[in-house]
Amino acid sequence: MINGIITATILVGVTGLIIGLLLGVASIKFKVETDPREDAVLDALPGNNCGGCGYPGCSGLAAAIVKGDAAVNQCPVGGEAVGKVIAGIMGVEAEASERKVAYVHCQGDCEKTKVDYDYSGVHDCRMLSFVPNGGAKSCNYGCLGYGSCVDVCPFDAIHVVNGVAKVDREACKACGKCVEVCPKHLISLEPYDAKYIVSCMSKDKGPVVMKACEIGCIGCSLCMRNCPSEAITMDGPLAAIDQTKCTHCGTCVEKCPKKAIVKI
């Protein structure tokens, strides 16, 4: 019996040794050579793996940069500083990048907007599509305030304040996760240098908006008609500002009767 145990032990050991040798040979024979710059680029990236660059994590972006499929300044978290470091590694010039931040286009907090009923279900904005009118607030386009955007933000840059999500502009890295998760499509990435913005996304006509919210855009077009730089257009009943044309004069804020355009 003891001899049998010894024999079995030897056989297992020999088998393991043979398998280990075969795996070692295979790893050498089929080794995929990587560009050493890929490791250098990966080390330069911040390592958040947020996916804001459009690639599956920092390693995916590093590989894409080395292959020439992604720009050296494509990481929204690292911004221009990291872009310059990676440009040095790749031996190219870094193009100037525009810093962006997330903005929630809604001011309909607990005081300014009406509610149709009391909701006591799951606090997840994405689940509200299954309840009447897509949520308790009378405005079907407004922030639901249950924080799905807060849950996905890897930088603690967004919080719900009095029923509406608010972004910390300094903490935001423009990764875009909040933009993707918002079921009302209320969040967009805007230039950090923008000064004025339409803080409403309602596509309802003026009378409907006024019944639901005190501070929603009613489509009066006064902002558009008075903008000296022609930076404002009307998307149906909703005003929109072209930030590339805006000269930050503030006329739109002065003329908006509902204060739906705000200075940020």
96-124, pLDDT tens digit by residue? 778 899 999 999 999 999 999 888 888 89
Predicted pLDDT of residue 146:
93
Identify the CATH class of 36-90. mainly alpha
For the chain, the farthest-separated pair of C-alpha atoms sits apart, in whole angstroms, at 99
Confidence at 8, pLDDT banded by 50, 70, 90: low
Average pLDDT over residues 149-177: 95
Average pLDDT over the chain, rounded to whole? 89
Domain residue extents for the chain:
36-90, 98-193, 195-264
* Same fold? 36-90, 195-264: no
pLDDT band at 52 (very low <50, low <70, confident <90, very high): confident
Report pLDDT for 4: 62
Please state the rounded mean pLDDT for residues 127-139: 85
Report the CATH fold assignment for 195-264: Alpha-Beta Plaits (3.30.70)
For residues 66 and 52, is the Cβ–Cβ distance under 8 A? no
Architecture per CATH, domain 98-193, reads as: 2-Layer Sandwich (3.30)
Residue-wise pLDDT tens digits, 209-246: 999 999 999 999 999 999 999 999 999 999 999 999 99
